[in-house]
Structure 1
Amino acid sequence: MGKTPQMGMGGLAILVVLFMGSVMPQLSSGFEKGTIRQLVTKYNVTSVLVFGDSSVDPGNNNRLPTPMKGNFPPYGKDFFQARPTGRFSNGRLATDFIAEALGFTKIIPAFLDPNLKPKDLLHGVSFASAASGYDELTANFSNVLSIPRQLQYLKHYKLQLRRVVGVKNAEWAVKNAVFVLSMGTNDFLQNYYLEPERAKQFTVEQYQDFLSTQMLHSIKEMHRLGARRLVVVGVPPLGCMPLVKTLRGGEEQNKCVEAINQVASSFNSKIKANLALLHRTLGIKDAYVDCYAVLQNALSTPQTYGLAETAKGCCGTGTIEYGDTCKGLSTCEDASKYAFWDAVHPTQKMYQIIADEAIKSLSEALIR
């Protein structure tokens, strides 16, 4: 591979639009696989490098001393051989579907997976860690990988990639990769609204600004390490999560908590402002995935997407269980009819819905 770098880079390239987002699982019907591959080759896209929380963690937390794991049934109920892998869903994540659509691999591996092979480095890996956030304190509460620690692993990845394709090709591959960043939910739900420290320091608006600043620092460090193409997934409508509705909804339990949704929407505005700033100052090619709007549309008109249940999750009662409290519980019969797998995380079907909507804007915004 060292003697024929173009072969190695070509393989990387065909793989990389693989990640038009940490958020999409299946290609839009209006965007053919052949077209994607042509774009990837034309623009020398190489691989997908993923950072974030449980929305894009395929199992890194399995290797950490943390209770925030999903490597037991019923998680993975609809994964290959019904195998739980650490993905907080009934099946695959967005990255997995994109990879399969491109014809390379059916799953995007966790970087900490002990079974990771050298060839896997060429397809892209995930450094994401469930329960992490833009705020380093968020990750510390659960002893998971903060963004700085995820970026440290990116350095390890680059060293390993050099052994596979050489120093020059490794740097070229990283600079032509698609970086995906998907987090923010835990900063609010597991930190600000649950723990006292940040709430004493900041108003909600001030905390949003704090998170925005932390996000900028992280992306600038990504840029220093080679990031030139970036997909950022916005925060979903947090007030529509079954757990939030159960805890904050009171008599209106089946309705979304609009005050919390407004916080999410406001923070998303800051994310978009950050991306505009980074594009102007660093020249980063960016794409914003409006997860908030996509989820709201699906929850508002479920029949349009083939969904029958959007108020509760598929695991247990569907109102409070997630992670360890979902362990060993019974589930709904057909998760593909549900928007949520547990009281927090989407089903595989929901990821497909997000993908179908998001790929339309990503295809042009990212690869240019």
Structure 2
Amino acid sequence: MRAGAEAAAAAAGVAALLALMPLLAQAIAIDRVRQLAAKNNVTCVLVFGDSSVDSGNNNVLQTTMKSNFPPYGRDFLNGRPTGRFCNGRLATDFIAEALGYTKAIPAFLDPKLTKSDVLHGVSFASAASGYDDFTANISTVLSVSKQLEYFLHYKIHLSKFVGGKKAEEIINNAVFVVSMGTNDFIQNYYLDPTRPKQYSLQAYLNFLISCMSRDIQEMHRLGARRLVIVGIPPLGCLPLVKTLMDTATCHQDYNKISSSFNSLTRRRLDSLRKSKGLKTAFVDAYAIIQDAINRPGRYGLTETTKGCCGTGTVEYGESCKGLTTCSEPEKYVFWDAVHPTEKMYKILALEAIASFDESLLA
């Protein structure tokens, strides 16, 4: 009996140790990245993209693409909606925290933006935007061209605070994060008739890559030296897409589009890295989210098919406003029918951080 009890206790101890191992690995990865960032004078995080990284810029725009109301933000640092399309923080917030700067990256258009915010990094991203400027125009949000224009304003503010030379140094040593592409397909190519009349699907993929390449080269011209590109998620697994396509499982045609786009993105990023001398990293959001859907237990998740807001099948943004939510969003992959939960964004961030090495941060 005693031997059996000891064996059971030992087994429980091993199980507890195994449960702690992912947390220990995460802590080690974050510590390593923070040391690398400090050693190489990495200064801040500057963010461009869509709702996956918009921390509130759309709040001040004349657009319906907003989330500055409950239940969005219910698990944010102070439990209030900020304009993030999430119950809490975004992947970029966790990345900035890991690098040692701030727990939440503010929106550049936030009227309460402080000097400290400007020095520690901001987001120029706008929900419903995309690599194709026409995507942003459909929803009256900030195109990448406009986001880059605001980045020029940011440089002016920064120069006023620290002087021109120091401002250039800060920008040269910043980590630029770019995350978009989903809306180019979901809200543009597959809903609006304009682009399908002009481009076949393959031609549109190539067009988006050329837009992305143009934007990256402009960022480089304006001072970007470290660049992180986030790939698009498995579009066919978004609850909204599954509802629209009337399927209970991930729609494989949409997933193939995601995969093709990400493959083209990787290739172009590699080419730009060589031609421009950029330090780069690619965050494979497709693989990370797909793995969480296929093996939820590995991440402490249980609900992979629907969002936490409302029915979880169609609601996002305005249609999610004021609705009831699930009691445990930390068990869900999706917060609404399109966007991940804070838990999923944290998983994405930790995977991204683990991939950051001296090729990006040195």
TM-score normalised by structure 2 residue count: 0.91
1:155 is aligned to 152
Alignment of 1:191 onto 2:188: yes
Report percent identity of matched pairs: 62
- The answer to whether the 8 A contact 2:62-2:140 is kept is yes
- The answer to whether the 8 A contact 1:90-1:341 is kept is yes
Written as runs of structure 1 = structure 2, the 5 A alignment for 1:1-368 is 29=26, 31-248=28-245, 250=246, 253-368=247-362
- The answer to whether the 8 A contact 1:28-1:360 is kept is no
Per-residue deviation, 1:125: 0.4
Distance 2:24 2:279 in 1: 21
Q: Which sections of structure 2, spanning at least 5 residues, go unmatched?
A: 1-22
- The answer to whether the 8 A contact 2:308-2:325 is kept is yes
- Aligned pairs, number: 340
Give 1:148's aligned amino acid.
S
Distance 1:342 1:186 in 2: 15
Per-residue deviation, 1:353: 1.3
Per-residue deviation, 1:105: 2.5
Q: Which sections of structure 1, spanning at least 5 residues, go unmatched?
A: 1-25
2:9 is aligned to none
**Cα gap change, 1:191 to 1:135, in 2 (>3 Å):** same
Per-residue deviation, 1:27: 10
- The answer to whether the 8 A contact 2:75-2:87 is kept is yes
Per-residue deviation, 1:36: 2.7
- Mean Cα deviation higher: 347-356 or 99-108: 99-108
- The answer to whether the 8 A contact 2:34-2:98 is kept is no
Per-residue deviation, 1:104: 3.8
Give 2:346's aligned amino acid.
Q
Per-residue deviation, 1:358: 2.2
Partner-residue secondary structure (3-state), 2:26: coil
- Mean Cα deviation higher: 259-268 or 348-357: 348-357
Give 1:138's aligned amino acid.
T
Give 2:279's aligned amino acid.
K
Per-residue deviation, 1:354: 1.3
After superposition, give the CA deviation of every residue in 1:103-131 in whole Å (9 maximum; x if it has no partner): 54321100000000111111100000000
- The answer to whether the 8 A contact 2:95-2:353 is kept is no
TM-score normalised by structure 1 residue count: 0.90
- The answer to whether the 8 A contact 2:59-2:68 is kept is yes
Give 1:116's aligned amino acid.
L
